[in-house]
Amino acid sequence: MDEKWERAFARADRVRRGFAALLDDSEGEYALAPSTHDLLVRFLSALPLTSRPRLVTTDGEFHTIRRQLDRLGEEGVEVVKVPADPADTVAARLAAEVNDRTAAVLVSAVFFHNAHRVPDLGTLAERCARDGAELLVDTYHALGAVPFTITEEGLPGAFVTGGGYKYLQLGEGNCFLRIPPGRSFRPVVTGWFSEFSALAEAPAGAVRYGTGADRFAGSTYDPTSHYRAATVLDFFDREGLTPAFLREVSQHQVGRLSERFDALGLDPAVIRRDRAVPLEQLGGFLALHAPGAARISGALRERGVLTDFRGEVLRFGPAPYLADDQLDRAMALLGEVVRAPLPG
């Protein structure tokens, strides 16, 4: 059974190439793990938190970052959070908080709660580099819905993380951390795969690490997710499902949902959308603000419309395979649900 690993590693390499291609990145190294949390913990453990005990982030990060940083804050690490809204100025506001005590800045490319894109990340990266801080960009809500490239975003020296569960249809267990080139890190949280390439050498002195992405490697894992991901990536290539094409589909779908929602003329005190943010600044879903988001989502589910919610935000996330009439029907049913009298 151990002979499977050569084949499994080949699939893992295919997944790495797939993520690098999505980011149009020819320089970074890619570590893989079942979750972004695994990779986040290794990243945080590589930071000089004893000499630079300050982390800067926003109050709009996904729970992976939010919870872990909150827990570090309980242990004495200074965690500075700037408001995520408005997204168009968040990069500048994060940059203003960077100083020589800052170990890293952590921010999303697209916020998970409202789909707002974060511009000017390259400027933030420059500020981080100037002050010796690392930058980690979470692209989970970008890849597959919003083209995001290392060069165009100005992020050659940044860490980038994300996964294929949300939009890329890779399923669970396929997450990555992009490591900038020419850097030497020694994560405190480290698995034995990090020294896999040097196992034949006699251990001596300091803990050894591999090169590149191996420095952030974990340990023995279930490789079946990489087989699935490699197959899906090949399918996307074969069918021409490029980031540009998927963005075109996504913008059409989110735009159609927005238009149909506006046409319903619903009471904004019950449910509304933020019309101040243009369509091109949205990610792959439509966020609607509703105090009764949980109730509305449940009622829609009973009618065959699958949505989710975060607090008072109801999210419609259309997949590329949905037809326009399905989107129209979903919005019509939303109107019925919102206008229906509350039970009891």
Q: Tokens 């981080």, residue?
A: 128
The per-residue pLDDT for 235 is 97
Classify residue 162 by burial, with Cβ atoms within 10 Å: 0-12, 13-18, 19+.
buried
Span 305-331, mean pLDDT? 96
Does pTM surpass 0.85? yes
Cis peptide before 343 (omega within 30 of 0): no
Q: Is the dihedral of CA 49, 50, 54, 59 positive or negative?
A: positive
Q: Domain 243-339: which topology? A: Aspartate Aminotransferase, domain 1 (3.90.1150)
SS3 146: coil
> Using one digit for the tens of pLDDT, what is the confidence trace for 154-181?
999 999 999 999 899 999 999 999 999 9
To the question of domain 4-239 being in CATH 3.40.640.10, the answer is: yes
Confidence band (pLDDT; 50, 70, 90) for 184? Answer: confident
Cβ pair 289, 313 in contact under 8 A: yes
CA distances from 203 to 46, 200, 207 (A): 21, 9, 8
Degrees to nearest 5, angle at CA 212 with 104 and 23: 70
Q: What is the pLDDT of residues 26-43, one digit of tens each?
A: 999 999 999 999 999 999
Share of the chain above pLDDT 70, in %: 97
- Distance CA(343)–CA(340), nearest Å, equals 9
When pLDDT is averaged across residues 3-27 and rounded to a whole number, the result is: 94
Ordered by start, the domain boundaries in the chain are: 4-239, 243-339
CA distance 119 to 117: 6
Q: Which residues contact 247 (CB under 8 A, 6 or more apart)?
A: 145, 146, 147
CA dihedral of 105, 52, 76, 217, whole degrees rounded to 10: 60
The pLDDT tens digits of the residues spanning 266-282 come to 999 999 999 999 999 99
Q: Could you check whether 4-239 and 243-339 share the same CATH topology? A: no
